[in-house]
Structure 1
Amino acid sequence: MDLANFLIQLLNSVQYGLLLFMLAAGLTLIFGIMGVVNLAHGSFYMLGAYLAWSLSAQFGSLTLAILVGAVLSAIFGLALEWLLFRHFYHRDHLDQVLLTFGLIYIFEELRSILWGDDVHGVPIPDLLSASIPLTDNLSYPVYRLFMSAVCIALAVGLYLLISRTRFGMKIRAGAFNRDMAGALGINIKLIHAVVFALGVTLAAVAGMIAAPIASVYPNMGSQVLIMCFVVVVIGGIGSVRGAMIAALLVGLVDTFGKVLLPQVAGMLVYMLMAAVLLWKPEGLFKQ
């Protein structure tokens, strides 16, 4: 592998890892702070992709579609938390698994009714459709760099929200001891609603920005869900910092594994997870 190909694969692995982080961050927040096992998290990724396809066709702008889709996703997350999830905070994890597993089928059926079962493509905006030449015959798409930039900006914003704001302090207090935080006057129900809506929005935005390169198709959320859980387990349940590092590790192992060891590429990520769990059963970082 020459330097140009190595650089392309490195950029691809970082971009994939950052996209995984956006998905896994919402999942680890929901589980770490609210204690809810959400198997339907991949459906929010699918929701974002279909919103990008339908809204970009209506508005003629992917940027506007992402902005409107993010708002709609946040509203959807708030409504879903209020209608269903807040009634399962103190229930067994098995009840939560059954609820969210059922939601996967409900969301898939609603997707089929609203948008059909065809595979769709989302056009890349003209401003981002160019490529940066690396050699005479190799180049790298600008849109992939745009995806990485959006993911980094959202990761920085999430870090600042949780660690540098008063509301973030309340989130951390609720995650550490929700009963004590509630006794001190913190509105735990509001914290949970905002955290859940934030997790839904992050997953949906990931689906929206990935739609132009991954296409939009049925059951697309199920494929990313397993990888999200791998990232959460490796990074440590409830740790956003761990999710970032684990997502980048998974991106590197998965991308370079497919290039260098294609025969065992499907196993490498799970071998990485097994190695981390043997070394640190709680994951790389604690909550």
Structure 2
Amino acid sequence: MNLNFWLIQAFNGISYGALLFLVGSGLSLIFGVMRIVNLAHGSYFLLGGYVALTVIWTTGSWLLALPVAALAIALLGLAMERMFLRPLGFDPLRQVLLTVGFAFLFQQAALDIWSGNNFDITPPPALSTTVNIGGLYLPLYRIFMIAMAAAIGLALWLAMEKTRLGAAVRATVDDAQMARGIGIDTSRISMLIFALGAFLAALGGVIGGAFLGVYPGLDFEMLPLAFAVVIIGGMGSLGGAAIGALAVGLADNFGKALFPEISYFTLYAPMALILAIKPTGLFGRE
């Protein structure tokens, strides 16, 4: 195996990690703020792809599909949190059962509305080319994915670290009861974070639909990967989500390229090891 093989696999792993960051960062924040395991999070990824396809089929615009799909699924997530999760209170078992029920409901609705066929989201021609960097021919679309994830990650970091709302979110992650005691509206914070998580997952579904495709079952394929990102990085940590996504993306790509027979082991073994050594994740708070 020559150097080009390792460089290309690393690039592919980083670009896949960029996609996983979009899915995992929202789940990490939901996990950190609301302390619930949202098993419908993969559904937002799938539905984002399907809504984007509908926008593209209707208007022919891939660029329009990005914000429309993300905002539509954000509103769906907001309604789900306000109308169903919030009235349940803070009972984790009920919330888990409700979200897994929604996951199956969304999957069946997608099957009924968009059929069981496999679809691909075709990006604009400008992003469908390859570029030559140091003798390596790299797909421009994957470079776009990395740039998009980096830009969103930077925007989220600035929002969390430099704004009053971000401080309220961090306080809620650290200690929701204490945050309520000093006058922070944790109910509003939870609503905003849940909508943001759905927004990011749907955006990932639109971007990922170009090389993963959009098909029934994709939601349950992405969900374990998103949880692996959260478990490795630590809940409620954007930096942890970035590191976790990068680790999962590289492990998945190199595992499939080098050890296809045991690729699942190479993907989930690091997660199990980190759980054994540091149950809260690399950047999780004790």
For the aligned pair, the TM-score class normalised by the smaller chain equals over 0.9
Superposed displacement of residue 139, structure 1: 2.1
CA distance in 1, matches of 2:212, 2:250: 19
Aligned to 1:71: 71
The Cα of 1:275 is off from its aligned counterpart by 1.9
| Residue type of the alignment partner of 1:70 | A
How much has 1:183 moved relative to structure 2? 3.0
Give 3-state SS (helix, strand or coil) of 2:279's partner: coil
Hey, what's the Cα distance between the residues in 2 that align with 1:258 and 1:118? Answer: 26
Equivalent in the alignment of 1:34: 34
1:105 corresponds to which residue?
104
CA distance in 1 between counterparts of 2:89 and 2:268 reads 30
Aligned match of 1:179: 177
From 214, 217, 224, the counterpart of 1:219? 217
User: Partner of 2:107: helix, strand, or coil?
Assistant: helix
Aligned-partner Cα distance in 2 for 1:170–1:281: 25
Query: Is the 1:40–1:101 Cα contact (8 Å) retained in structure 2?
Result: yes
Partner of 2:46: 46
How far did residue 64 of structure 1 move? 0.9
Q: Supply the distance in 2 between the matched residues of 1:263 and 1:116 (Cα, whole angstroms).
A: 32
Q: Distance in 2 between matches of 1:135 and 1:36?
A: 46
Q: CA deviation at 1:245?
A: 0.7
Task: Mark the runs of 5 or more structure 2 residues left unpaired by the alignment.
Answer: none
Deviation, structure 1 residue 135: 7.9
**Which residue is 2:279 aligned to?**
281
CA distance in 1, matches of 2:134, 2:191: 49
- Deviating more after overlay: 151-160 vs 254-263: 254-263
In the other structure, the counterpart of 2:61 is: 61
* Shift, 1:45, TM fit: 0.4
Contact 2:49–2:69 (CA under 8 A) maintained in structure 1: no
Quote the offset at 1:266 in angstroms.
Answer: 1.8
RMSD: 1.6
Question: Offset of 1:282 from its aligned partner?
Answer: 2.2
Change (3 A) 1:262 1:161: same
> In structure 1, what is the Cα distance between the partners aligned to 2:231 and 2:162?
25
Instruction: Check if 1:21 corresponds to 2:21.
Output: yes
Q: How many aligned residue pairs are there?
A: 285
- 1:133 positional shift: 3.1
2:121 is matched with which residue? Answer: 122
Q: What's the TM-score once normalised by structure 2's chain length?
A: 0.94
In the TM superposition, structure 1's runs of 4+ consecutive aligned residues that sit over 4 Å from their partners are none
Q: 1:73-222 to 2 correspondence within 5 Å?
A: 73-91=73-91, 93-133=92-132, 139-222=137-220
3-state SS in 2 of match to 1:212:
coil
- Aligned residue number for residue 248 of structure 1: 246
